[in-house]
Amino acid sequence: MLIGPQNLVSRLTEVRSRIKRAAEAHRRDPAAITLIAVSKTKPAALIRQAAALGVTDFGENYVQEAAEKMDALRDLQLTWHFIGAIQSNKTRVIAESYSWVHGIDRLKTAQRLSEQRPFHSPPLNVCIQVELVPEQTKAGVCPETLPELAAQIHLLPRLRLRGLMCLPPAMHDARVQSGVFERLAGLLAQLNSQGLKLDTLSMGMSEDFELAIGAGATMVRVGSALFGAR
Ligand SMILES: *Cc1c(COP(=O)(O)O)cnc(C)c1O
């Protein structure tokens, strides 16, 4: 489904006010929450419209599809976030063209990204994906192995470990869903108490970003609420 400019204006206004309300309900500054507009499967023209409305951060899942859009939008100053599954033969392109990578769950991938990050670019910002609800197909490191992986990634020269990311399945009980987000926040606090300086909790999507904000999200990844169903 494609949406027109008028639709995008009202959807964006709605998402921004939902973010603001959720932040204020938890005595948080709405400006401390970055909206990542997830533009996978959507055309460059729609991203351009969102950029004209002040959206600066975009999330993409598919390397090839995103490369074409980035090329078409080269004249804009956008911050690109890779939020998809990372195939090892795609790490070079990812290291060369993104500012952020959210789904790191293996040291090998992190090492490749660090080696392949161009010397003229700033360090690549990364988040470790944590699997909090066991699922068969989902990626993510389990909480028990998180501290060791975080310590190793922290040492990689061309990466900057910023925080944690999660992608739990949608749950119908808001309290259960909030509990998952709170666990991710707890893991971040634990890593910081052990000496890391992490400032990012990437959690919450169209259906549940208010709950994530309530639990401390600093980045929400919102696709369908902005751009329509995929
Ligand atoms: C697609 C996707 C989103 C956005 O999902 P919506 O439900 O459309 O908001 C967020 N995060 C990740 C990792 C995704 O793959």
Taking the alpha carbons at both ends of the chain, their separation in whole angstroms is 6
224 CA closest ligand 1 atom index: 8
165 CA closest ligand 1 atom index: 13
More confident residue, 41 or 4: 41
Residues 47-66 as b or e (16 or more Cβ within 10 Å = b): bebbbeeebebbbbbebebb
- Ligand 1 centroid distance, CA of 170 (Å): 11
223 CB near ligand 1 (under 6 Å): yes
Instruction: Tell me which CATH homologous superfamily contains domain 5-227.
Output: Alanine racemase (3.20.20.10)
- Over the stretch 179-197, which tens digit does the pLDDT of each residue have? 999 999 999 999 999 999 9
* Statement: residue 130 has pLDDT above 70: yes
Q: Which residue has the tokens 């959720």?
A: 22
- Over the stretch 71-109, which tens digit does the pLDDT of each residue have? 999 999 999 999 999 999 999 999 999 999 999 999 999
How distant, in Å, are the alpha carbons of 108, 127, 196 from that of 57? 27, 16, 25
Q: What is the pLDDT of residue 171?
A: 82
More confident residue, 168 or 6: 168
Residue 145: band (very low, low, confident or very high) from pLDDT cuts 50, 70, 90: very high
117 CB near ligand 1 (under 6 Å): no
As a whole number, mean pLDDT of residues 159-171 equals 94
DSSP string, the chain: ----HHHHHHHHHHHHHHHHHHHHHTT--GGGSEEEEE-TTS-HHHHHHHHHTT--EEEES-HHHHHHHHHHTTTS--EEEE-S---GGGHHHHHHH-SEEEEE--HHHHHHHHHHS-TTSPPEEEEEEB--S--SS---B-TTTHHHHHHHHHT-TTEEEEEEE--PPP-S-HHHHHHHHHHHHHHHHHHHHTT----EEE---TTTHHHHHHTT-SEEEE-HHHH---
Q: What is the pLDDT of residue 3?
A: 66
Q: What is the pLDDT of residue 24?
A: 98
Q: What is the pLDDT of residue 2?
A: 60
* Statement: residue 1 has pLDDT above 90: no
Share of the chain above pLDDT 70, in %: 97
* Statement: residue 26 has pLDDT above 80: yes
More confident residue, 40 or 1: 40
206 CB near ligand 1 (under 6 Å): yes
34 CB near ligand 1 (under 6 Å): no
40 CA closest ligand 1 atom index: 1
* Statement: residue 5 has pLDDT above 70: no
As a whole number, mean pLDDT of residues 147-162 equals 98
